Structure 1
Amino acid sequence: MAKRFRVTLAQANPVVGDLAGNAALARAAWDEGRAAGADLVALPEMFILGYNPQDLVMKPAVQRAAMAQIEALARDCAEGPALAIGGPCAEDGKLYNAYFICRGGKIVSRQFKHHLPNYTVFDEKRQFDPGPLGGPVAIGEARVGTPVCEDAWFEDVAETLQESGAEILLVPNGSPYYRDKFDRRMNHMVARVIETGLPLIYLNMVGGQDDQVFDGGTFVINPGGELAVQLPVFDERVVHVDFERDEDGGWRALHGEKAVLPPGEEQDYRVCVEALRDYLRKAGFSKVLLGLSGGIDSAMVATIAVDAVGAENVRCVMLPSEFTSQASLDDAREVATRLGVRYDTVPITGPQAAVTEALAPLFEGSAFGLAEENIQSRLRGLLLMAMSNKFGEMLLTTGNKSEVAVGYATIYGDMAGGYNPIKDMYKTRVFETARWRNSTHRAWMKGPGGAAIPPGVIDKPPSAELRPDQKDEDSLPPYEVLDGILYMLVDEDSSVAECVAAGYDRETVKRIEHLLYLSEYKRFQSAPGVRLSKRAFWLDRRYPIVNRWRDPG
């Protein structure tokens, strides 16, 4: 009879800092593995503390508490399969990103992460010490090597494990989403399989943490690069994978589930939904509110919110001024009606008149301008925050990446709030996503099917409506042009000369570059928002607030 080795994989969703809760999730997965006759139950990287813990992991009390939870898990899970779980390990004055194997009531193996990522959202060289290259651990009939996340992106760790007797590679990950990242992961893992001749398990966590979403997508590759198992993205899953020795004495995974991954636009939208849903749950909120202007951005945020937490937990508020058009009033009401949310109207004309009167002696003799426009936005922010305080509903902001990039938003006004679901979505992508959502409905969406966003809202010219007949393109280039320039300047770090070579007007590029740098102070104070790209504003792109550099090109 062929020898078998069963691994239970937990594609699970930890909460940063909830050590007891994360341990309970691990214990539940271990119980499922024990009931299924598993030899090993595996959880992702840094699971006991949650990922990305940032500087929380450097706190000695956190390190001690995390280790105590792992030791308790080892004792509690003594009778049954081995348990593999990630966590911090402080040892001899150093701190490691570690992966622990527990068996028979004890920790029997510690694999320390060797290659520490220090780019985009990662600061692991600041937080951890690099560990030495390690060896595999014997579990049942197999010898398992565990390159931790980034270690599997390089040849040396897997090669060392293979040379020291590993028969199966288990790669625990806390790998956050950006569009098309899955293909990069797969390419790197296939390379490790080809180089070592070993089967490989890529185990990733799911769930949102601040600006990041971990998208799961756990998979198993057999020698030769054959895909044996593919789990869906974003869903929490516990699955059992069987390995069988082949006639040459090596292990091969038996074929199991092979989920089809959704296209990029669907993954982006689901990331927005999952990020908001988890941010609220993990921060202790159940309800949200937002200002609904009748424009595409607030309509998109309202739709994301309804899909995340349900219409009964979303309040939309229209705060009209003297410049708000009847079309915007009608569009906002229609959005609220289609989504089925509570819809309130709070005019700002009275508060605006009071502020105008208070400032009249100081502003006498000056023309209506930016200051008066921003008073309207700041009054809206004040009133929305008052409602947030009164009703315990988190205020969502609605600025897209194009606006966030060039500062086309009012600090302490429409930038006020706790979270921004479209912070990393350019305006042209907002339009595309709205059309996609109107034509698509999935089981994970709590909102209605059909055209949730009225086509008229998508098609009308964008306007802040802070002065008569205002249009965004009065002060900005068309969004197709703006987003093209911003993508080059922000996402690709292109020079002005490279933008001009791509066909953009030099004067326009220079102006957009100036606005981009000038708005850094606003972004520094803005609400967090979900990361969709490799160059999201916050941890991916960190610039000085005071900065006189301008590209002479």
Structure 2
Amino acid sequence: MSIQENFSEISTPNGTITFAIMQTNFWVGDIKGNVGKMKALALDAKARGADIVIFPELALIGYPPEDLLLRPTLAERVKIAMNELAKIDGIVTILGYPHVDNHGTFNSAAILQSGNQKGFYHKQCLPNYGVFDEKRYFKKGRNQVLFDYKGLTIGLLICEDIWHEAPIKALKDEGAEMVVVLNASPFEVGKQAERKALIARQSSTHKLPIIYVNTVGAQDDIVFDGGSIVSQADGEIAHEGARFLNQLIMATFDVSSGRFDTQAKPPLDLSEESQIYQALVVGFRDYVNRSGFKGVIVGLSGGIDSALTLAIAVDALGADKVYAVMMPYEYTSQMSLDDAAAQAARLNVSYTICPIHDAVAGLKSTLAPLFAGAAPDVTEENLQARARGVILMALSNKFGHMVISTGNKSENAVGYSTLYGDMVGGFDVLKDVYKTDVYRLADYRNRLEDNPVIPERIITRPPSAELRPDQKDQDSLPDYALLDAILKMYIDEDLGYKAICAAGFDPAVVERVLTMVDRAEHKRRQGAIGTKITKKSFGRERRYPLVNGWSVTGEF
């Protein structure tokens, strides 16, 4: 069944239709603020000569709204908001919103014009994998929706719909001459190439021009990278939005020829390192700013992880909002002290040295009667990390700055971290970045300027937690190149012990790594969130039971 609306008062062809594609970010839950933003942007688009303005998926409430969709006042708030948006005059508005009626809640697109809602479409394909959980909240739409504007019949789809054949084929069969797709498509490495290939294929297969508008910015651990696309009916890309930036794309369609104008200059083709780095900056910036913190605190150790975290923090927030604290102990090398101070000076951040000797001594003294007769072990190492954690959190409480954790994905995967120690903090910038990629990103950031922001010695020296004399990470872990190769197969590709061994890895090493990953789940559950950049991040995408008897080697 299809529903077709005819905008009779403006249905006479006049040659061209100009679309304003609003690639921008909307704050989850801030319906009133989002309405104000949409009204201002729509009026600006109208002033620029646009006929139709298009906003992304669920722009009214932001994406993903999660359990805000279950709030009892949602329907009332949405009704008030939609009435307010319908007042926009002189331009047709297409936007994503949660539609609530007696049949349930739907992920929907509305068509507003001249004070009225001319029609609405309900998303048909509800994703329920990875970061998506839409079947928890939404009912499935079942109708195709088309509307006529200046002699052009336009069909609507929402995000996941375009990844399946049935919805777009149904629109074509019902007479659609163009398809508009509203999206909230999260970033992951390589995703834009997949989107462009998809849109080109769907356009050329069904002989339909497509407008694909994507949101941009971050929400919690998810980053949206924009990259909105306008394609011709033969699959040629006519317009492509910039990545990670708010942008208004003006695309004019010639009704008689059936083609869009083309942009004068396509966006820069970003390297993989550039994509990841920008995603980390955007994710961190939006989380900190919208959380309302005055600034952030980074425990600077002189090592590669905290060095890269500091650089990202400064790029995201500005040096005036970043505070670095070096907390040396007797195992901290002079090299670490020198390199941390040099980087803090290079980035012009507030830098404080706070030795932890007295704090650790006090803890040891308090515990001495309880530890009598017990040999020193990793417990004493963890006391150092936990003393640092206490200091960082005390500074946060006193001055209102968010503590930033500096753990990377490799360490988080195998539990090479200390609960309530180096894991403390409200956000983990590198949570989804493997150690080998940490080095790539540090090298990338240094290449952007003549004067490197990360001292070269931090990149080239062997990594160490410096919790005991001459400690090196590789005393406790396989070489990071080997470790990351196994972790990517186990975590990102979801391969098991036998498949990884078959790829040529030592079975003993594989069993050891997989066992460490499974045993560290309890630590990860208590860690800070961090920006997702890979195919499968820890958190909402990968949820394993904390206590289980699963055999990593496949023995039943």
Match of 2:60 in 1: 48
| In structure 2, distance between residues paired with 1:64 and 1:172 | 23
Is residue 8–residue 41 contact of structure 1 (8 Å, CA) maintained in 2?
A: yes
- In the alignment, structure 1 residue 355 sits paired with structure 2 residue 363: yes
Q: Give the TM-score normalised by the residue count of structure 2.
A: 0.95
| In structure 1, distance between residues paired with 2:118 and 2:451 | 54
| In structure 1, distance between residues paired with 2:421 and 2:210 | 50
SS of equivalent to 2:73: helix
Match of 2:250 in 1: 240
| In structure 2, distance between residues paired with 1:408 and 1:50 | 36
Is residue 193–residue 199 contact of structure 1 (8 Å, CA) maintained in 2?
A: yes
Residue deviations 1:359-385 (CA, integer Å, cap 9, x gap): 000101111111111111111111100
Equivalent residues in 2 for 1:308-387, closer than 5 Å: 308-387=316-395
Match of 2:425 in 1: 417
Residue 239 of structure 1, CA deviation? 2.4
Match of 1:183 in 2: 193
Residue 334 of structure 1, CA deviation? 1.2
Is residue 120–residue 145 contact of structure 2 (8 Å, CA) maintained in 1?
A: no
* Structure 2 counterpart of 1:470, one-letter code: Q
Residue 2 of structure 1, CA deviation? 6.6
Match of 1:256 in 2: 263
Match of 1:112 in 2: 122
SS of equivalent to 2:323: strand
Is residue 377–residue 414 contact of structure 1 (8 Å, CA) maintained in 2?
A: yes
| In structure 2, distance between residues paired with 1:476 and 1:534 | 24
* Structure 2 counterpart of 1:482, one-letter code: L
Instruction: Mark the runs of 5 or more structure 2 residues left unpaired by the alignment.
Output: 1-12
Is residue 14–residue 150 contact of structure 2 (8 Å, CA) maintained in 1?
A: no
Identity %: 42
SS of equivalent to 2:97: strand
Residue deviations 1:156-207 (CA, integer Å, cap 9, x gap): 1111112222221111100000000111112221222123211101100100
Match of 1:445 in 2: none
Match of 1:216 in 2: 226
Match of 1:23 in 2: 35
| In structure 2, distance between residues paired with 1:295 and 1:548 | 36
Aligned length, in residue pairs: 541
- Which stretch shows the higher mean deviation, 331-340 or 96-105? 331-340
Match of 2:161 in 1: 151
Is residue 220–residue 228 contact of structure 1 (8 Å, CA) maintained in 2?
A: yes
* Structure 1 counterpart of 2:39, one-letter code: R
- Among residues 11, 14, 37, which one is paired with 2:49 in the alignment? 37
Residue 60 of structure 1, CA deviation? 2.7
Is residue 209–residue 259 contact of structure 2 (8 Å, CA) maintained in 1?
A: yes
| In structure 2, distance between residues paired with 1:531 and 1:30 | 31
SS of equivalent to 1:304: helix
- Among residues 99, 116, 119, which one is paired with 2:109 in the alignment? 99
* Structure 1 counterpart of 2:372, one-letter code: E
* Structure 2 counterpart of 1:436, one-letter code: Y
Residue deviations 1:35-75 (CA, integer Å, cap 9, x gap): 12222111000001000111212223134312321221112
| In structure 2, distance between residues paired with 1:327 and 1:487 | 32
Off by >3 Å, runs of 4+ in structure 1: none
- In the alignment, structure 1 residue 265 sits paired with structure 2 residue 266: no
Is residue 56–residue 213 contact of structure 2 (8 Å, CA) maintained in 1?
A: yes
* Structure 1 counterpart of 2:383, one-letter code: I
Equivalent residues in 2 for 1:463-542, closer than 5 Å: 463-542=464-543
Residue 141 of structure 1, CA deviation? 3.5
Is residue 286–residue 309 contact of structure 1 (8 Å, CA) maintained in 2?
A: no
* Structure 1 counterpart of 2:287, one-letter code: Y
| In structure 2, distance between residues paired with 1:551 and 1:377 | 30
- In the alignment, structure 1 residue 301 sits paired with structure 2 residue 313: no
State the Cα RMSD in Å: 1.3
Residue 423 of structure 1, CA deviation? 0.4
- In the alignment, structure 1 residue 142 sits paired with structure 2 residue 152: yes
| In structure 2, distance between residues paired with 1:376 and 1:343 | 20
SS of equivalent to 1:321: coil
Residue deviations 1:69-112 (CA, integer Å, cap 9, x gap): 1221112x0x2111111010111241100001101101111100
- In the alignment, structure 1 residue 164 sits paired with structure 2 residue 174: yes
| In structure 2, distance between residues paired with 1:361 and 1:392 | 37
Match of 1:435 in 2: 443
Residue deviations 1:119-171 (CA, integer Å, cap 9, x gap): 10000111111011322112334222111111111111111112222221111
Is residue 156–residue 181 contact of structure 2 (8 Å, CA) maintained in 1?
A: yes
Match of 1:407 in 2: 415
| In structure 2, distance between residues paired with 1:352 and 1:490 | 36
Is residue 534–residue 540 contact of structure 1 (8 Å, CA) maintained in 2?
A: no
Match of 2:3 in 1: none
| In structure 2, distance between residues paired with 1:272 and 1:240 | 28
* Structure 1 counterpart of 2:62, one-letter code: G
| In structure 1, distance between residues paired with 2:326 and 2:229 | 46
SS of equivalent to 1:522: helix
Is residue 2–residue 244 contact of structure 1 (8 Å, CA) maintained in 2?
A: no
| In structure 1, distance between residues paired with 2:85 and 2:365 | 66
